[in-house]
Every structure is written in C-alpha cells, then in structure tokens.
Amino acid sequence: MPLEGELAPDFVLSDQDGHTFQLSRLRGSPVVLYFYPKDDTPGCTIEAQEFSRDIEEFRKKGIVVFGVSKDTPESHCKFIKKYGLQLPLLSDVDAKVIKQYGLWKEKTLYGKKVMGTQRATFVIAADGHIMKVFPNVTPQGHSQEILRVFGAESI
C-alpha cells in the first residue's frame, strides 16, 4: 500500500460514461480516491451517498472525488441512477489499480476465504503526493471525515 508522503501511483481508468481519467493529469487539484468493494451493497451505498451529498463542498474547495471498484461501467451507471449519485465511479474490472494500491486482500465471507477489495481512501495533494491514507474505512461519516482533513491542512 502506498504511504503518506509518497507520489500516488499513476493510472488510467474509465468512468461510468466511458470518459478516461489519468491521475497524473489531475495535478494541480487535490484528489480523493476512495476504493470500495461493490456497487449497490449496504456499506458501499452509504459511502457513495455521503460523498454525493457532500460533493459541492468538495468542489468549492477544488477537490476532485472518485470512487473505484471492480464493477463494470454498466453496473456503475445503474448504481448512480438508482441512488442519484453525483460523482464519477471508475471501473477497474481487472483489479490492476486496486492491486497497485495494495488493496486486493483475502477476506472471510460467510466462513469462506475469498479475494476482494479492501475499503480504503487516499487523499492526494495537488502535487500528486499522498497526503493521508485511510486503510480501513467505516462508510458512515467518512465523507465528513475527509472534509475535515482538508479543513485542517493546507494543500
């Protein structure tokens, strides 16, 4: 997992509408990159709804927010439409970026060992360095927790 102070690993992914995003092209703007396991599941829905609720506050501060999961663009479209989400969701169907960020982990699901995405958030400063890492996120209240980081520190 990349550490605070390190340059955030660069990547290129597409969002729900097929628009391509390259992290390094966003230099000059702070970025919140949150990784989540699966569209339309309870914790992931709470997290996405809260980021959507707060998206204007992030935008006022010049902060770009992205969610990343293994879900397809089609799945993201359904998820966004169902809940009226207001932020781009990036598709990492082969988990390449998830692995690059050290978040492809063994989990226990209904007593079985499975591989899946660890819920985590990376706050990336405008210069591309990782400002803060949240390795084990609790969805409820996480968006406000991230906004407090930006209120407390100069970017």
Give the model confidence (pLDDT) of 57-107 as tens digits.
999 999 999 999 999 999 999 999 999 999 999 999 999 999 999 999 998
Instruction: Specify if 21 maps to a domain.
Output: no
Dist. CA 141–CA 155, nearest whole Å: 22
Dist. CA 79–CA 16, nearest whole Å: 10
Residue 36 has pLDDT above 70, yes or no: yes
pTM above 0.75, yes or no: yes
Q: Token pair of 138, please?
A: 């609790």
CATH classification at residue 111 = 3.40.30.10
pLDDT in tens, 2-19: 999 999 999 999 999 999
Domain that holds residue 60: 29-152
Instruction: Specify if 13 maps to a domain.
Output: no
pLDDT in tens, 18-27: 999 999 999 9
Both ends of the chain: CA-CA distance in Å? 22
Q: Do the Cβ atoms of 68 and 102 come closer than 8 Å?
A: no
Instruction: Specify if 4 maps to a domain.
Output: no
Element (H, E) at 64: strand 64-69
Candidate list 31, 44, 68, 146, residue with the active-site label:
44
Say whether 44 is catalytic.
yes
- Radius of gyration for the alpha carbons in the chain, expressed in angstroms and rounded: 15
Instruction: Specify if 110 maps to a domain.
Output: yes
Domain count, the chain: 1
Beta-ladder partners of 104: 117
